[in-house]
Amino acid sequence: MSKFWSPFVKALVPYVPGEQPKIERLIKLNTNENPYGPSPKAIAAMQAQINDDLRLYPDPNCDQLKHAVADYYSVGPQYVFVGNGSDEVLAHAFHGLFQHDKPLLFPDISYSFYPVYCGLYGIEQKPVALDDDFQICVADYQQPNGGIIFPNPNAPTGCLLELDKIEQVLQANPDSVVLVDEAYIDFGGESAISLVKKYDNLLVTQTLSKSRSLAGLRVGIAVGHPDLIEGLERIKNSFNSYPLDRAAIAGAAAAFADADYFHSTRNKVIASREWVIEALIALGFEVLPSAANFVFARHSERDGAELAAELREQGVLVRHFKQPRIDQFLRISIGTEEQNQALIDALQRCI
C-alpha cells in the first residue's frame, strides 16, 4: 500500500485472473481457453494487417467487425458494440448502463468480476442465491429500476438457462437493464441475441476468447437496442476511442465470417465434453449439467482443494474456488482428446 493511494483505491478488491503458468509442460485446463487454434482465415487477416497497415490508426468505430457480427446475427450494425475483451465491454456496461444508486442483482455463484465492477463503479450489489441444484431461479429476479446480470451458461457452474426463462426475467423487469453474459453460449445454448429487437432493456455480451479461440487477441462484443449501444459508445469514447487494434478488428471479423471452422472446432469441444463427463462420473464425480467448454465437478470422497493441488503436481492445471458452497468443486476446461485423457489418467492416480 502506498501513501499516495486514494481511499477509493485502498478499498478496491481487484479480480484475480486464473493462472497463466510459465512452466510449459503443464496441461492447462484452468481458464477455459479453446484447445484448438483460431480460424486460419483469421490468422491470415491479422497477418495482412501486420504486413501492411500498422503505421495507421485503426478505425475507431471498428465498422468491419460490427458488420461481421451484425451479419452473423441478422441485426443492424447499430445494435453492435465491440471492445477489448468482454471484460472491458462489461466494465463499460456497469459504468454506463446500471443505475449506481439502485441494486444490481446477480447470482451469488457467478462470474467473480461482477462484484469487482460494482466496487469500481459504486453500484450496490444484491447477490441472489442459486437453488439447491445450482440453477438460477428466475422468480427471484425482480428489480424495478435497477439492473440484472447473469452469465448464460452460468460460470463456473456451466448450467444453462433456457430462452423462455430469460424472457420471463425481461418481462418482469421492463425498467431494468438485463445483461446476459454469453461468454460460453456457443457450446450448447441458444443466444438471447434473437430477443434484442423485442426487448429494449436487453444487452447480450459475448467474447471471441472461447468458441472462436482468440483469447490472446482480447475482443468482446455487446448486442442490444441502439440506445443501449449508444450509451456504451459514449463511455468508450470518453475512455479509449481506439479499443481494438487493426489486427484485432480484421482477425475478429474474419473469425465471425468463417462459420465452417467455428462449427467444426465447437463440435469437437462439445463431443469431448460429453466424453470427459462420462469418464468423471465413472471415477466417482458428481458433474453439473454443462452447456459450456468446461465442467464443474466434485468427488464424493476427495477434497476439492487437495485434488487440484495433486493434479498440479501431476502436471494438470484446473481451477478451484475457495468459496462457500463450491469449495469441493473443480472447474475443468475441455482440452484436446489427448489432454482430456491425460486429465483422466492423472485423476485415476489421485483417487
Strand, helix or coil for residue 144: coil
Q: How far is CA 238 from the centre of its chain?
A: 25
Answer whether 202's CB lies under 8 Å from 171's CB. no
Grid cell in block for residue 344: 483422466
CA–CA dist 22, 150 (Å, integer): 32
Query: What nine digits make up the cell of 62?
Result: 471498428
Among 39, 209, 211, 293, which residue interacts with ligand PMP (rule: CB under 6 A)?
209
Choices 81-89, 126-134, 159-167, 319-327; region in contact with ligand PMP by CB under 6 A: 81-89
Q: Please report, for residues 8, 187, 254, 294, the alpha-carbon distance to residue 275 in angstroms, rounded to integers and kept in the order given.
A: 47, 14, 31, 12
Among 34, 39, 86, 333, binds ligand PMP (CB under 6 A): 86
Cβ at position 214, least distance to ligand PMP in Å: 9
Q: How far is the CB of 219 from ligand PMP (least distance, A)?
A: 7
The residue (of 34 and 207) whose beta carbon lies closer to ligand PMP is 207
> d(Cα 210, Cα 206) in Å, to the nearest integer?
9
How far is residue 201's CA from residue 144's CA, in Å, rounded to a whole number? Answer: 12
Q: Closest CB to ligand PMP among 107 and 146?
A: 107
User: Taking CB under 6 A as the rule, does residue 163 contact ligand PMP?
Assistant: no
Among the listed residues 87, 186, 245, 258, the single contact to ligand PMP using CB under 6 A: 87
188 binds ligand PMP (CB under 6 A): no
Whether the upstream peptide bond of residue 226 has omega within 30° of 0, thus cis, is no
- Of the candidate spans 66-74, 83-91, 300-308, 316-324, the one that interacts with ligand PMP by CB under 6 A turns out to be 83-91
What is the nearest approach in angstroms of ligand PMP to the Cβ of residue 52? 27
Choices 63-71, 80-88, 253-261, 325-333 (CB under 6 A): range interacting with ligand PMP: 80-88
Name 80's bridge partners: 223
> Which is closer to ligand PMP, CB of 38 or CB of 85?
85
Nearer to ligand PMP, 86 or 339 (CB): 86
**Integer distance in angstroms from the first to the last C-alpha of the chain?**
43
Q: Considering only residues 13-72, where is the footprint of ligand PMP by CB under 6 A? A: none
Position among 181, 186, 245, 258 found at the interface with ligand PMP (CB under 6 A): 181
Q: Which long-range contacts (CB under 8 A, 24 or more apart) does 345-348 make?
A: 346/311, 346/314, 346/315, 346/316, 347/280, 347/283, 347/307, 347/311, 348/283
Is residue 152 within the footprint of ligand PMP (CB under 6 A)? no
Q: How far is the CB of 96 from ligand PMP (least distance, A)?
A: 17
Using CB under 6 A as the criterion, what x/- string covers residues 88-127 for binding ligand PMP? -----------------------x----------------
User: Could you give the string, one character per residue 224-263, with x where binding to ligand PMP holds by CB under 6 A and - elsewhere?
Assistant: ----------------------------------------
Spatial strand order of the sheet with 104-107 comes to 80-83, 220-224, 202-207, 177-181, 147-151, 104-107, 125-128
Beta bridge partners of 21: none
Residue type, 154: N
Task: Kindly state whether residue 213 participates in binding ligand PMP, applying the rule CB under 6 A.
Answer: no
What's the distance, CA 77 to chain centroid?
22
Q: Closest CB to ligand PMP among 48 and 215?
A: 215
* Residue 326 near ligand PMP by CB under 6 A: no
Residue recorded with cell 438471447: 192
Q: How far is the CB of 89 from ligand PMP (least distance, A)?
A: 8
- What is the smallest separation between the CB atom of 154 and ligand PMP, expressed in angstroms? 8
Quote the CA–CA distance of 343 and 351 in Å, as a whole number. Answer: 12
DSSP 132: T
Q: Which residues bind ligand PMP (CB under 6 A)?
A: 85-87, 111, 151, 155, 181, 183, 207, 209, 215, 220
